[in-house]
Structure 1
């Protein structure tokens, strides 16, 4: 057994302690912990059971019933719930730690006080930079945590072959190898949905390796087309999907036997519309799961994690117990872990919350594996940092320094005005719009037009120092004055994205990130206004979550000071190169029409791409 496997043995497996649990339930042995006078939120029956006692042994529930007096011994810790609710620990069914700007350890530090005790993470961000070796690093950090962090093996690296070049690649043989790692729970979101429908060998091979291992295949069908392409995708094996934005999306997925994952992240608000399939159409709630996909550090520290999602779902008309089911039992069943997590019932891991008000999900204390982890919003345990090696650092390779001229867009021909394609950012959603705009030329170039909310966008290749810079235009940020933001978080290939109204500031921002090894930086009027350093793969900070959250807040403030009014502009910025979500994106290969999966010229009727 390797070191990673050793670190997973933080509690006794059920088969090895079942006899002890029986003895506790029968009163022949004493419990380690007993919670008395609780209101038991039972997600199996969908009810709240009054006046319940709960006994824990070896980090697992042993007894849930009216009176646990017979399980109390001289060394048993007894907690009087005093009529408060005992709720299963919350599960995030799909998310990417890297989007939080922090490591797995720091992510856990941030979310444990908010009641999250299980996470299903897809580290395809680091996979796009460091390949299988990067996935292994995050896997090993995940299995070392005091809460449950399962890893989905990235499936699409690059996400859209032929439309982008990532820093690494993942093939079916890599998927097959990872399926034997102790913390791997399944295959991460299969984003190349045209590839699945076309029986692409890479997609078919990765899905087959996962199914042969008896694990779950994650889905990602980002098209609004629910016709033949959708049916072909479902037939290929994906078992869930979090890319729906409409009620009909949720209905279509559930009818085809998939789980509809409804997300509320820092910038994506997809729960309210889709949950109508349950609240208005009466579809079976067992097939709906809540997730974040994704939350940045500021949201985690200041607003919450899965507790925030559950509260939001309740606000849409769900009963509290129903919303909790969608963030606990439904998730556990989907990943084949219903005997381990997802409910407060005998044999399961003793992951639970003490909640004083169910409707507002007011969390007084958080327990994981029978151990008190947080109380009154404060973490009570120390989490040892994970040491990322040198190979995970210094990953930003830019042929530079970059000059302002590299961000200039030459005008096609000798014309005073051109028609350009324009990426349109959509507030609180991952999809973009494919727009066109008439722009004036100046001195042989096409400048941005901040007065009409048209900014420059550039993608700088950062894995192989090729010197490639792709230039285009974007709308929706609302920037005024001379400013620019650059980020090496650029889903999914994670090159460097620079958005700005002024080429000089764009050059300053890009060169700054190359200097420090990655992160996100904002410049205005030639001055650095905000910086979040992310030296680990150019994706994650090595600082504490609260420090990163403060820097992220400073970044948002700098963006707002330059006219940006988007709810979470950093998250929107980070998706502008995501060439598997419609409609128009930018990549190192050019401007990509995701609805047709082809490269298109920047100028309508022109040849310049």
Structure 2
């Protein structure tokens, strides 16, 4: 908006577009709650004043009757693809829960479609009531053993980083390449220059961690133990506390968040399926869970908004201060917050858990067909080779697994699944080129007794 007009409205010399009265504003800098009226103009917060001062007038006035007012929530690391829906539907699920900004790593769709997939995410994110920023996917494919549908080079990433919606380099999963000073990996790190570089370094400790951080990598969302997170915290990393569908680390890591350390933590969901999103929630659910675990509500909101905004350089959001975007949520219970009203850029976009209607393009962004699997080439037989077999052991609520062995169940000279012992057959099928290549093995920990999952 016009800067001169914003200044005049902030001084009370001109009427604001919207005035939210009788709010209890969460001050995330001083960790305090202040009674205030909040003036909004042109999608920005123009000013904050005590209600009794009558400092502001506005064309529209909304009395919050003492509701709490917090900045819109920010997910510091998420793969939209894991929700199994497109960007507008993802927004419909999370905006009513208070999330107004996400930092997405589209490496899952990039693994299939490369730059076309990332451009699709950027295009599909337009005209939605959700701000979608992207981190340039650093590891496509994720590793040298992966059969991907595309590859991204440092040159590709450099072109992506010219887009204003691309903030930096997404999770550097190839930590082995970093430690080995692989030329391609280092070239990708250099493209980020001074921009944020996210990490992905499960179990990396000691001098290897020193090297990983020295490469310029600033965050990690793969900590599964307090000890690992503490060491990375001491090396200067921002710790993204993840609470995904299959990897739940919040209860283990929240005790590390104190008034002294809170500004070095960020909430993220990473991968949440539709069931988890709809039944539990999004970042709002992490706030409620952390408060139940003993975290001060104001610190929880720091992790859910201000900290992510500052880490990613989004200095126009994350707090309720003059000049920032009016991305706001209003709720009634500080210890179990559930957004009643959600504002994005000064406009009411969700109310009482429902997304309000908004203007959408008649034609949504589309993608080319990306599946090429010749059914005649598929086979899932595993010839028995002795009486023992290797098994992937799932660790409940974690993304990491263990290597194990067990007695093979053999039928007709083949190793077969044995649901009674929770031993299931696992197949990974190359889906991009129609080669028919299939990797087969056994996994324990799903508990599946009937049918199959794909």
TM-score normalised over the length of structure 2? 0.96
In the alignment, the residues of structure 2 paired with residue 114 and residue 130 of structure 1 have an alpha-carbon distance, to the nearest angstrom, of 31
| Alpha-carbon displacement from aligned partner over 1:222-262 (angstroms, at most 9, x marks no partner) | 2x241222221111111110000111122112111110000
Q: 1:407 matched to which residue of 2? A: 380
| Alpha-carbon displacement from aligned partner over 1:157-214 (angstroms, at most 9, x marks no partner) | 01112x1121100110001000111211111111001111111122211111112xx4
On the 8 A contact 1:143/1:183 being kept in 2, the answer is no
On the 8 A contact 1:197/1:236 being kept in 2, the answer is no
On the 8 A contact 1:271/1:313 being kept in 2, the answer is yes
Q: 1:396 matched to which residue of 2? A: 371
In the alignment, the residues of structure 2 paired with residue 444 and residue 298 of structure 1 have an alpha-carbon distance, to the nearest angstrom, of 40
SS of residue paired to 1:363 = coil
1:443 aligns with 2:423: no
Q: 1:55 matched to which residue of 2? A: 39
1:216 aligns with 2:200: no
Q: 1:380 matched to which residue of 2? A: 356
In the alignment, the residues of structure 2 paired with residue 448 and residue 70 of structure 1 have an alpha-carbon distance, to the nearest angstrom, of 72
In the alignment, the residues of structure 2 paired with residue 179 and residue 419 of structure 1 have an alpha-carbon distance, to the nearest angstrom, of 50
Change (3 A) 1:268 1:313: same
| Alpha-carbon displacement from aligned partner over 1:539-575 (angstroms, at most 9, x marks no partner) | xxxxxxxxxxxxxxxxxxxxxxxxxxxxxxxxxxxxx
On the 8 A contact 1:104/1:142 being kept in 2, the answer is yes
In the alignment, the residues of structure 2 paired with residue 315 and residue 124 of structure 1 have an alpha-carbon distance, to the nearest angstrom, of 33
Unaligned runs of 5+ in 2: none
Could you tell me how far 1:277 is from its partner in structure 2? 1.5
Q: 1:81 matched to which residue of 2? A: 64
Q: 1:199 matched to which residue of 2? A: 181
Q: 1:265 matched to which residue of 2? A: 244
Unaligned runs of 5+ in 1: 1-11, 487-609
Could you tell me how far 1:383 is from its partner in structure 2? 5.5
Could you tell me how far 1:331 is from its partner in structure 2? 0.5
Could you tell me how far 1:69 is from its partner in structure 2? 3.1
In the alignment, the residues of structure 2 paired with residue 129 and residue 273 of structure 1 have an alpha-carbon distance, to the nearest angstrom, of 34
In the alignment, the residues of structure 2 paired with residue 187 and residue 232 of structure 1 have an alpha-carbon distance, to the nearest angstrom, of 18
Aligned equivalent of 2:453, options 476, 485, 488: 485
1:25 aligns with 2:10: yes
Could you tell me how far 1:402 is from its partner in structure 2? 5.1
Number of equivalent positions = 452
Q: 1:184 matched to which residue of 2? A: 166
SS of residue paired to 2:322 = coil
On the 8 A contact 1:458/1:470 being kept in 2, the answer is yes
Aligned equivalent of 2:421, options 432, 437, 452: 452
SS of residue paired to 1:362 = coil
Q: 2:120 matched to which residue of 1? A: 137
SS of residue paired to 1:188 = strand
Q: 1:124 matched to which residue of 2? A: 107
1:64 aligns with 2:48: yes
Change (3 A) 1:143 1:182: farther
On the 8 A contact 2:19/2:60 being kept in 1, the answer is yes
For residues 191-590 of structure 1, what are the structure 2 equivalents within 5 Å?
Answer: 191-211=173-193, 214-222=194-202, 224-279=203-258, 283-338=260-315, 340-382=316-358, 384=360, 387-389=364-366, 392-401=367-376, 406-412=379-385, 417-481=386-450, 483-486=451-454
On the 8 A contact 1:249/1:274 being kept in 2, the answer is no
Stretch deviating more after TM superposition (240-249 or 263-272): 263-272
| Alpha-carbon displacement from aligned partner over 1:262-308 (angstroms, at most 9, x marks no partner) | 011222210111122125xx651100111111211122223211100
Regions of 4+ moved over 6 Å: none
Q: 2:148 matched to which residue of 1? A: 166
Could you tell me how far 1:399 is from its partner in structure 2? 2.1
On the 8 A contact 2:409/2:417 being kept in 1, the answer is no
In the alignment, the residues of structure 1 paired with residue 237 and residue 231 of structure 2 have an alpha-carbon distance, to the nearest angstrom, of 9
Stretch deviating more after TM superposition (142-151 or 428-437): 142-151
SS of residue paired to 1:32 = strand
Q: 1:578 matched to which residue of 2? A: none
SS of residue paired to 1:229 = helix
